[in-house]
Amino acid sequence: MYERILIVDDSATSRMIIKRCFEIAGFQDSSFLEAEDGIDALSILEDNDVDLIVTDLNMPKMDGNNFIKKLKIKENCKEIPVIVISSTVSDSSIEEYTNMGVKGVISKPVSPEKISAALGESNVS
Amino acid sequence: MSASIKKFKKKNISKALIESVIQTFEEMAFLDVQPVSDINTVNFTQIIYIGILDPLKGSMALYLPVECKRIIIENIYGDEFNNLSPREIDDCLLEILNVLAGCFLGKLYATTIRYRVDIPKILFDETEISLEGDNYLEQCFDAEGDHFKVAVALKNN
């Protein structure tokens, strides 16, 4: 379903782990684009179509919160489903991001099971 | 719920710290770690440090000796330590503490409170950081034979 996935996180380790978890969760045939922060991600989205965006919150230059707000006002991006993956997730922040139209919120450390649950998938391998 | 650290007893902070370390290292690095006492020194080679911003001010530091660092990174990357670049190694350490700090705050506070941490950084000398606070706690851990230390300092509001 999600053939092209954009992962936005300032940590290369985190991007590697997220990608690995997606592959284990059944997305081994998906292609992955990576961005270090919101500015980098918006630049990538100018030239690339993606089916899903996965973003961290605590990033330099442009944090996840501002990145999501920018996405939601861009005509070619506002309908792309977004998953937030962060180390500082609380119930209040989950509610906030859900109200912003985010598809799911996952607390780090990420796992294939958490990804499947957030996407409403059941294809963990 | 008030974010005043005065409401927390030291045992609650200790419990949150121990549980978050065990969970983070198990889920990220597939390591079984257990708290230990009576460790006089941890011969660390690096300090990974992160500031805590909300709902209170504080900081956390992870003191790692070289063998611990090697095992953790190899487990996370699934590759030999010597095959990894210094940048990949540093990034991995920073991410561990980032996740650990968030996990710690999540266990310390009710989940209705928002919390924030700073961007983590790597240091080589304890003089570069200040971990003094109204509530200071350090705890050593055994990671399958090797030892490391985590310290946290929280300031009263």
Q: Is the pLDDT of residue B84 over 90?
A: yes
Least confident piece of the model among A90-94, A104-108, B59-63, B84-88: A90-94
Q: What is the pLDDT of residues B95-127, one digit of tens each?
A: 999 999 999 998 888 666 778 888 889 987 777
Q: What pLDDT, on a 0 to 100 scale, did the predictor assign at position B112?
A: 67
Interface residue B89 vs chain A (CB under 8 A)? no
Q: Establish, for the pair of chains A and B, how many residue pairs have beta carbons separated by less than 8 Å.
A: 65
Q: What pLDDT, on a 0 to 100 scale, did the predictor assign at position A71?
A: 94
Could you say which residues from 7 to 66 on chain B have a Cβ atom under 8 Å away from some Cβ of chain A? 24, 27-28
What percent of chain A has pLDDT above 90?
72
What's the token pair of residue B138? 């350090």
Q: Is the pLDDT of residue B4 over 60?
A: no
Q: Is the pLDDT of residue A125 over 50?
A: no
Interface residue B114 vs chain A (CB under 8 A)? yes
Interface residue A62 vs chain B (CB under 8 A)? no
Per-residue confidence band for B87, with pLDDT thresholds at 50, 70 and 90: very high
Q: What is the pLDDT of residues A106-122, one digit of tens each?
A: 989 899 999 999 998 54
- Maximum mean pLDDT: which of B5-19, B87-101, B102-116: B87-101
Average of per-residue pLDDT across B3-20: 79
- For chain B, the average pLDDT equals 86
Per-residue confidence band for B19, with pLDDT thresholds at 50, 70 and 90: very high
Least confident piece of the model among A72-76, A88-92, A103-107, B25-29: A88-92
Per-residue confidence band for B39, with pLDDT thresholds at 50, 70 and 90: low
Higher local confidence (pLDDT), B45 or B13 = B13
Interface residue A108 vs chain B (CB under 8 A)? yes
Closest CA relative to residue A84, chosen from A99, A48, A73, A32: A99
Is-above-0.90 flag for pTM?
no
Interatomic CA distance for residues A22 and A12, integer angstroms = 15
- For chain A, the average pLDDT equals 90
Q: Are B117 and A88 contacting, i.e. CB atoms less than 8 angstroms apart?
A: yes
What's the token pair of residue B131? 């971990």
Q: Is the pLDDT of residue A50 over 70?
A: yes
Burial of B67 (0-12, 13-18, 19+ CB in 10 A): middle
Alpha-helical runs (H) found in chain B: 10-29, 66-77, 86-108
Q: Are B132 and B153 contacting, i.e. CB atoms less than 8 angstroms apart?
A: yes
Q: How far is A107 from chain B (nearest CA, A)?
A: 9
